Amino acid sequence: MPDYAALAETIRALTHGETDEIALMATLASEIHWSDDRFDWTGFYRVTAPEVLKIGPYQGGHGCLVIPFARGVCGAAARTGQVQLVPDVDAFPGHIACASSTRSELVLPVHDRNGRLIGVLDIDSDQPDAFTAQDAEALAAILAETFGAVG
């Protein structure tokens, strides 16, 4: 498990004063991805139209380009506003297999300072049951601090 306190401090230092969402997403995708070997694909899907996510900055192999809110783990996080911690993607109804190597997934909604959903952070692992509630809590705190969401 990453040292989330150190990761948060690094991200805080790298993003200090930055307000551009794409620049922030790119920096977080890189820093989070390289912080833990469990993270096989790390990236953002951005809300670009009503009920539509499009790929944003990421680290890893190719991702799906478009994900509707109605489909997959990312869509579920966007649609419900809830963290999706999926220990076995094959058991998730409607899972979209962007990469055949993905075994488990953690997806967190990302909100701006006004509470508007701007996207989701998607982390895939090639290991089953790779993520914990501690991962979700620590990453949610980093997202809230970085993008200015309250709570």
Q: What per-residue confidence (pLDDT) applies to 148? A: 84
Q: What per-residue confidence (pLDDT) applies to 71? A: 93
Is residue 102 a contact partner of residue 129, using CB atoms and an 8 Å limit? no
Is residue 93 a contact partner of residue 75, using CB atoms and an 8 Å limit? no
Which DSSP helix (H) or strand (E) runs through 24? helix 21-33
Which CATH number covers residue 16? 3.30.450.40
Which tops the pLDDT comparison, 8 or 102?
8
Which domain, by its residues, includes 50? 4-147
Q: What is the mean pLDDT of residues 29-39?
A: 96
Distance CA 108, CA 123 (A): 9
pTM here is 0.94
First-to-last C-alpha distance (Å) of the chain: 23
The pLDDT tens digits for 87-126 are: 998 888 777 777 778 899 999 999 999 999 999 999 999 9
Does pLDDT of 149 surpass 60? no
Distance CA 111, CA 97 (A): 25
Q: How many domains does the chain have?
A: 1
Distance CA 90, CA 146 (A): 32
Going by the DSSP 8-state scheme, the letter that residue 113 receives in this structure is T
